[in-house]
């Protein structure tokens, strides 16, 4: 039975995410085990706010302390921990991360956004490079971040600051939350030296 539990636990993958917002005043504290915690307030649609519990373990206690002391609106990144009983983010970094990879399944509204009165967007399936390997993720950019990518084409390699998050998408006819990246600043793009076959080899988003 113990081995079964160990095998099940080993199959659980870390869920990485990020929040944009500010720390709640006077919410920072450190317990007797040296674990730092604070409340992070994010803004949603129509001005609604949501409070997120954030903790800093081991060396990341300082990461949280520095983030709280920095103040102002910021991006924090971490892993979702605690399950349903004690849900919280285990913080490990602040600010966006830089991601790069070849794009496929590209969509944008550059030809129609002004006429439609909507904000510009770019949405692509990207083989995000992780050393010698790749993880395939949807990557989306909006507003000025999307305009910085105007002219990008399938097979180009994008290089952008971004943050990991989750979005509800329809996959095989069912709605599910999928891991994705939201671009968080102006990025760059360029054709790859030799056209990649990646567009034919990437799994469906």
3-state secondary structure 100-162: EEEEEEEEECCCCHHHHCCCCEEEEEEEEEECCEEEEEEEEEECHHHHCCCCCCCCEEEEEEE
pLDDT given at position 160: 98
Instruction: Give the global pTM.
Output: 0.79
pLDDT averaged per 10 residues in sequence order, the chain, 205 residues: 44 80 96 96 81 97 97 95 92 97 96 94 95 93 97 96 85 80 96 60 57
What distance in Å separates the CA atoms of residue 182 and residue 58, rounded to the nearest whole number?
A: 28
What is the structure's pLDDT at 205?
56
CA atoms within 13 A on the CB side of 185: 12
- Going by their DSSP bridges, the two strands 156-171 and 97-108 should be labelled as antiparallel
Q: What is the pLDDT of residue 103?
A: 97
Secondary structure tally for the chain: helices H, strands E: 5, 12
pLDDT at 45: 67
- State residue 199's pLDDT score: 46
| CA pair distance 1, 170, nearest whole angstrom | 37
SS3 assignment, position 34: coil
- Whether residue 55 contacts residue 34, with contact meaning beta carbons closer than 8 Å, is answered with no
| pLDDT number for residue 201 | 55
Residue 10's pLDDT is 40
Rounded to whole angstroms, the Cα distance separating 79 from 74 reads 17
The b/e string for 78-97 (b: 16+ C-beta within 10 A; e otherwise) is beeeeeeeeebbbbbebebb
Q: Beta partners for 141?
A: 122
Q: Return the closest-CA partner of residue 64 out of 87, 17, 32, 30.
A: 30
Q: What pLDDT does residue 134 have? A: 93
Which residue is it, tokens 């079964």?
4
């Amino acid at each position: 039975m113990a081995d079964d539990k160990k095998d099940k636990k080993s199959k659980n993958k870390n869920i990485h995410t990020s929040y944009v917002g500010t720390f709640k005043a006077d919410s920072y504290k450190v317990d007797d085990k040296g674990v730092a915690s604070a409340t992070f307030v994010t803004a949603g649609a129509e001005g609604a706010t949501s409070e997120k519990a954030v903790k800093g373990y081991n060396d990341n206690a300082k990461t949280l302390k520095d983030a709280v002391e920095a103040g102002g609106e910021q991006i924090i990144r971490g892993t979702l921990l605690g399950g349903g009983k004690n849900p919280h983010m285990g913080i490990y970094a602040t600010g966006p991360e830089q991601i790069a990879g070849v794009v496929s399944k590209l969509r944008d509204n550059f030809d129609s956004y002004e006429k439609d009165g909507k904000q510009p967007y770019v949405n692509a399936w990207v083989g995000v490079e992780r050393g010698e390997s790749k993880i395939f993720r949807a990557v989306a950019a909006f507003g000025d971040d999307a305009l910085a990518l105007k002219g990008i084409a399938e097979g180009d390699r994008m290089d952008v600051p971004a943050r990991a998050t989750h979005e509800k998408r329809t996959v095989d006819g069912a709605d599910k939350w999928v891991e994705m990246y939201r671009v968080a600043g102006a990025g760059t793009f360029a054709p790859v030296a030799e056209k990649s076959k990646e567009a034919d080899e990437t799994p469906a988003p």
